[in-house]
């Protein structure tokens, strides 16, 4: 029997070969030799994920066990599964991997050594291991790798299938997290994002136990050491807007906020590629022309091997994974001080939110708990067009504790640091989706630049009569008409009707938080007539 004690601890025995901590170049070789991907012009590698081109939220389960059950917000996001059924799937996975070549990356989640989580990622596909190598923080010291002790293990058996009748899963796809065993099982899907999000879900559970605020956000820092956070779900521009040549990127997706400041969870970026352009997003575009970048489901010309970022025939959710080192001027430590500005991004499919507004501390709590945005086509299976949704804490799919736990931590940090908070609409203007148009990225960049620089600090503002937020009346480089969305609609009464409808949706959604929230926070929400 071919055994490795490092794998035997998680039930994996008798693999054919195990490739430990291969370099990017070596994983390229293995992926190409196994026909897992195609090298394209510029040097990146394109891989296909097959049927599943986005997350499968209905297939994600947490084990209901005594050490964590009382802390988990059980429901449609955190679906329970029994320990027995988890163990049954685990057995299926280990049998599936018997006799297969396996790839292992030992890495970390969390740039701050005080809160770092050692993670072992085991995959049956070489390109998934390359993805993990990009996404997490790699250990370059070979001596330390020899003594590496994981505190979380992720087993990705992409071609393994669950039996819903026997295992209690929703389908053949499974993403199962056992917080007690510190073990994650992924199967039935080749979408690499499930690896990343599973690790961050575990971090989102562990860090509050240490009074650290985990955040689904990007972060950057200016020349004056001014840190900015960007909250937002996939498709809101979080990655794009934080990749600013005038500022230094800290990270693009997940961070912690401790008493020491902020720190990145990741060693890389996982950016949306659909309709990517060199003009609008030069830093991200450059990564697609670099050796090492993994592109998911991007269309390739079979003759020239040139990429077509406008082709959504496979999915709208085309992705690119690359190390942070691919971004010029990145903060290599992944750490920085406390934020001076916090930006909450919403892709408003109704086209009624202003492009920027400053939030009071109470309004910041209201909108953080609300997490209003739109699910963008392709991000999840079954979503074919933008759909208005509320995702509490701008990351409900990855939060384990009740939302008020994270909100309380954020409130403490904002109050202590007196950070300014902004609500930015990167969605539609001039009408709802299908009538209006997406907010030009140039306008959004100008607004954010003004907010971060302090250029809006002394600008007159008006309180929006419906959404109850302070909207600046002017901004350098942006027409004043754009700042007032009502003026961009052809029919003002249609705007009023649509805005009132969205305000009512806010109120209905917030009803579940009203009991736990203060009267001041409740009053900071939109005004429903």
* 242-270 pLDDT per residue, tens: 988 899 999 989 999 999 999 999 999 99
- Catalytic residue (choose from 68, 189, 198, 234): 234
- Catalytic residue (choose from 49, 53, 56, 239): 239
| Domain assignment of residue 356, yes or no | yes
pLDDT at 186 over 60: yes
Tell me the CATH number at 254.
Answer: 3.90.228.20
List, in order, residues 6 or more apart from 460 with CB less than 8 Å away: 472, 473, 474
Same domain for 374 and 287, yes or no, is no
Of the listed ranges 15-29, 364-378, 419-433, the least confidently predicted one is 364-378
Separation between Cα atoms, residue 12 and residue 89, nearest integer Å: 13
Tell me the CATH number at 126.
Answer: 3.40.449.10
- Catalytic residue (choose from 112, 156, 252, 253): 253
Same domain for 228 and 281, yes or no, is no
| Domain assignment of residue 206, yes or no | no
pLDDT at 382 over 70: no
Known active-site residue 8: no
SS3 (DSSP) at 444 = helix
So what's the pLDDT on residue 140?
85
pLDDT confidence of 4, banded at 50, 70, 90? confident
Known active-site residue 260: no
**Boundary-marking domain end, from 310, 326, 342:** 326
Which pLDDT tens digit goes with each residue over 436-450? 999 999 999 999 999
Known active-site residue 147: no
CA pseudo-torsion sign 171, 403, 362, 258: negative
Alpha helices (runs of H) in 338-379, residue ranges in sequence order: 361-370
Domain range enclosing 515: 213-268+333-523
pLDDT at 375 over 90: no
Same domain for 120 and 255, yes or no, is no
Known active-site residue 181: no
Q: What is the pTM of this model?
A: 0.92
> What average pLDDT score do residues 356-384 get?
80
Same domain for 259 and 275, yes or no, is no
Known active-site residue 234: yes
Which pLDDT tens digit goes with each residue over 411-436? 999 999 999 999 999 999 999 888 99
So what's the pLDDT on residue 386?
59
| Residue 289: how many other CB atoms lie within 10 Å | 14
pLDDT at 399 over 60: yes
So what's the pLDDT on residue 86?
98
| Domain assignment of residue 44, yes or no | no
| Residue 1: how many other CB atoms lie within 10 Å | 6
What does the angle CA 152 – CA 255 – CA 521 come to, to the nearest 5 degrees? 120
Residue for token digits 């770092």?
A: 116
From first CA to last CA, the distance across the chain in angstroms is 72
pLDDT at 381 over 80: no
Closest CA to 54 of 389, 316, 391, 273: 316
Say if residue 98 is exposed, middle or buried (CB neighbours under 10 Å; 0-12, 13-18, 19+): middle
- Catalytic residue (choose from 196, 197, 381, 445): 197
Known active-site residue 474: no
Same domain for 94 and 120, yes or no, is yes
| Domain assignment of residue 109, yes or no | yes
| Domain assignment of residue 287, yes or no | yes
Which pLDDT tens digit goes with each residue over 210-231? 999 999 999 999 999 999 999 9
Q: Convert 62-92 to b/e letters by CB count within 10 Å (16 or more is b).
A: bbbbeebeeebeeeebbbebeeebbebbbeb
pLDDT confidence of 69, banded at 50, 70, 90? very high
Task: Identify the bridge partners of residue 60 per DSSP, sorted by sequence position.
Answer: 175
Separation between Cα atoms, residue 185 and residue 83, nearest integer Å: 13
| H-run or E-run covering 472 | strand 470-472
Tell me the CATH number at 279.
Answer: 2.170.8.10
Separation between Cα atoms, residue 21 and residue 138, nearest integer Å: 9
- Catalytic residue (choose from 52, 55, 79, 90): 55
Q: What is the DSSP letter of 352?
A: -
- Catalytic residue (choose from 85, 125, 133, 238): 238
Same domain for 312 and 297, yes or no, is yes
Same domain for 322 and 390, yes or no, is no
- Residue 271 in contact with residue 239, Cβ under 8 Å? yes
Same domain for 372 and 444, yes or no, is yes
pLDDT at 452 over 90: yes
| Domain assignment of residue 50, yes or no | no
- Catalytic residue (choose from 125, 319, 340, 443): 319
The CA–CA distances, whole Å, from 326 to 103, 269, 323 equal 24, 9, 6
Separation between Cα atoms, residue 185 and residue 155, nearest integer Å: 5
Same domain for 82 and 223, yes or no, is no
**Boundary-marking domain end, from 326, 361, 396:** 326
As a whole number, the mean pLDDT across the chain is 94
Known active-site residue 69: no
- Residue 293 in contact with residue 320, Cβ under 8 Å? yes
Alpha helices (runs of H) in 209-332, residue ranges in sequence order: 238-242, 282-287
- Catalytic residue (choose from 6, 134, 216, 381): 216
| Domain assignment of residue 71, yes or no | yes
**Number of domains, the chain:** 3
Which pLDDT tens digit goes with each residue over 154-182? 999 999 999 999 999 999 999 999 999 99
pLDDT at 529 over 80: no
pLDDT at 369 over 70: yes
The CA–CA distances, whole Å, from 401 to 184, 258, 392, 404 equal 18, 18, 11, 8
Same domain for 340 and 291, yes or no, is no
Which pLDDT tens digit goes with each residue over 492-516? 999 999 999 999 999 999 999 988 8
Q: What would the two tokens of residue 167 be?
A: 């295992």
SS3 (DSSP) at 509 = helix
| Domain assignment of residue 528, yes or no | no
So what's the pLDDT on residue 1?
45
Residue for token digits 């293995």?
A: 30
| Residue 28: how many other CB atoms lie within 10 Å | 21
Same domain for 349 and 472, yes or no, is yes
Known active-site residue 70: no
Same domain for 179 and 224, yes or no, is no
Sheet strands (E) in 297-376: 299-300, 307-308, 319-323, 335-336, 339-346, 356-359, 372-375
Separation between Cα atoms, residue 317 and residue 403, nearest integer Å: 27
């Amino acid at each position: 029997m071919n055994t490795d004690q490092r794998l035997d601890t998680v039930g994996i025995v008798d693999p054919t070969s195990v490739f430990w901590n291969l370099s990017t170049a070596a994983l390229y070789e293995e992926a190409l030799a196994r026909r897992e991907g195609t090298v394209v012009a510029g040097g990146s590698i394109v891989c296909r994920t097959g049927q599943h081109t986005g997350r499968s939220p209905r297939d994600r389960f947490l084990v209901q066990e005594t050490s964590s059950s009382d802390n988990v917000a059980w429901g449609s996001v955190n679906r329970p599964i029994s320990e027995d059924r988890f163990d049954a799937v685990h057995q299926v996975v280990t049998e599936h991997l018997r006799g297969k070549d396996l790839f292992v990356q030992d890495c970390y989640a969390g740039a701050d050594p005080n809160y770092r989580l050692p993670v072992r990622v085991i995959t049956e596909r070489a390109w998934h291991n390359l993805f993990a190598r990009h996404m997490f923080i790699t250990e370059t010291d070979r001596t330390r790798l020899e003594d590496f002790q994981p505190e979380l293990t992720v087993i990705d058996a992409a071609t393994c299938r669950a039996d819903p009748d026997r295992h209690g899963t929703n389908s053949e796809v499974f993403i199962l997290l056992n917080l007690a065993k510190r073990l994650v099982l992924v199967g039935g899907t080749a979408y690499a994002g499930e690896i990343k999000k599973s690790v961050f879900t575990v971090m989102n559970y562990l860090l509050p136990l240490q009074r650290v605020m985990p955040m689904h956000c990007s972060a950057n820092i200016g020349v004056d050491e001014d840190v900015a956070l960007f909250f937002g779900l996939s498709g809101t521009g979080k990655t794009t807007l934080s990749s600013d040549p005038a500022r230094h990127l800290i990270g693009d997706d997940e961070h912690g906020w401790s008493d020491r400041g902020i720190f990145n969870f990741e060693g890389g970026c996982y950016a949306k590629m659909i309709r990517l352009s060199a003009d609008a997003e030069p830093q991200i575009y450059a990564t697609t022309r670099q050796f090492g970048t993994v592109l998911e489901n991007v269309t390739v010309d079979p003759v020239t091997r040139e990429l077509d970022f406008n082709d959504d025939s496979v999915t709208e959710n085309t992705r690119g994974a690359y190390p942070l080192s691919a971004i010029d001027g990145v903060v290599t430590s992944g750490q920085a001080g406390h934020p001076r500005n916090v930006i909450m991004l919403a892709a408003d499919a109704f086209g009624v939110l202003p492009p920027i507004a400053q939030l009071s501390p109470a309004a910041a709590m209201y909108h953080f708990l609300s997490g209003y945005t739109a699910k963008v086509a392709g991000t999840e299976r079954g979503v074919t067009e933008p759909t208005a949704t509320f995702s509490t804490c701008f990351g409900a799919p990855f939060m384990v504790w009740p939302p008020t736990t994270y909100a309380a931590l954020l409130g403490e940090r904002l109050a202590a640091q007196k950070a300014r908070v902004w609500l930015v609409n990167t969605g539609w203007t001039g009408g709802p989706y299908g009538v209006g148009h997406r907010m030009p990225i140039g306008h959004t960049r100008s607004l954010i630049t003004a907010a971060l620089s302090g250029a809006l600090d002394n600008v007159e503002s008006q309180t929006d009569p419906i959404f109850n937020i302070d909207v600046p009346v002017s901004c350098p480089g942006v027409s004043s008409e754009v700042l007032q969305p009502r003026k961009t609609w052809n029919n003002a009464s249609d705007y009023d009707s649509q805005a009132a409808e969205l305000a009512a949706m806010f109120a209905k959604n917030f009803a579940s938080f009203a009991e736990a929230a203060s009267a001041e926070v409740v009053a900071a929400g939109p005004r429903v007539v």
